[in-house]
Amino acid sequence: MRAVWKGAVTFGLVNVPVKLYSATEDHDVSLHQVHDADGGRIRYQRVCEIDGEIVPYQNIDKAYDDGERTVIITDEDLKSLPAERSREIEVVEFVPTDQVDPIMYDRSYYLEPDSASNKAYVLLREALDSTDRTAIVRMSLRQKTRLAALRVHGDVLMVQTLLWSDEVRAAAFPALEEPVKITKGELDLSKQLIESLANDFEPDQYVDEYQRDLRTLIEAKLEQGDALDTAATFGAPEEEAGGEVIDLMEALRQSIAAKRGGGTDASAPSASASASASKSSSAASASSATKGAAKGSGSKAKSDSAESADEKPAAKRRAAKKAG
């Protein structure tokens, strides 16, 4: 890794020299634009609108236009700004970690100690870890004043730049202001579905399926050319079940039954899954309104057959996903 910034973390009279490294990287496939008629590469050029000449990058400055006047801002002007000259990560305050809303996180950077002794670095790390506090800091990075959170990540200190408060939009959706009645049966079934999917988060088990498929497509086209049969490469696309869910309770029951029966043979749903679905149906009917109970009991036979039919393609899709 290459350091993108060098400076020091300062709080009180304590000074901790550090180097800053980007903590994330992009693995997306890089594509460029071509002319669809002949495959010629599309190029962009920086052209001056006054003399029509192509301008080299080193001869390009920035400018601000207020509608009537234009001022040119050179690289030397930007470097002369006091905030840009600062090489400090200034600790403003230490706050409880759970008070920093994740919606404010922007970019992540690792901090490496940059001195002969890393005692001050380790001391700050241990102090933050033992108090469960996050340091709110100010710093200048890439021609911007940044607000950031300095916290512990394993054995490393890291800073995560934060959005300013006015950069976070308010979630004002009129639909959420309308009153909605949730029955106890619906809530109980929703909790059961959540519990059936509960697990510890392990990031390594997830992959970017789009980028994986894109690489597969590129490799296949390199071998077969434009005559590639995408259906043979990826399989026929699955039909998406459209339409709005009419019976929420039934959808929840079928989701729980499908999840509980996921480890059984697709052609023979387990008795425990059927029993669980039946038990959930009875509990929901007892706690729901009379209309919901009558509807649930009247459609039991139909839902059982629907569950059996739905489990077959669901199991096949899960098997195909694991194989992929």
pLDDT at 262: 61
Q: Are 36 and 118 in contact (CB under 8 A)?
A: no
Q: Cα(251)–Cα(242) distance, rounded to whole angstroms?
A: 14
pLDDT at 271: 35
C-alpha triplet 102, 104, 110: angle, nearest 5°: 80
Average pLDDT, the chain: 79
Look at 30-44, 77-91, 230-244, 281-295 and tell me which has the smallest mean pLDDT: 281-295
Q: Cα(257)–Cα(269) distance, rounded to whole angstroms?
A: 9
| Cα 279 off chain centre by | 37
Average pLDDT over residues 169-175: 92
User: 117 pLDDT exceeds 80?
Assistant: yes
Average pLDDT over residues 10-34: 91
Condensed to tens digits (0 to 9), the pLDDT of residues 48-73 reads: 999 999 999 999 999 999 989 999 99
Closest CA to 120 of 43, 13, 34: 13
User: 301 pLDDT exceeds 70?
Assistant: no
Largest CA distance in the chain: 81
Size of the chain, expressed as the number of residues it contains: 324
Q: Give residue limits of the domains in the chain.
A: 5-25+81-165, 184-194+247-323
pLDDT at 138: 93
For the whole model, what pTM was predicted? 0.65
pLDDT at 200: 93
């109980």: which residue's tokens? 188
pLDDT at 87: 85
Alpha helices in 133-224 (DSSP H): 184-196, 209-224
| Architecture of the domain whose range is 5-25+81-165 | Beta Barrel (2.40)
Q: Cα(279)–Cα(168) distance, rounded to whole angstroms?
A: 45
Q: What is the DSSP letter of 178?
A: S
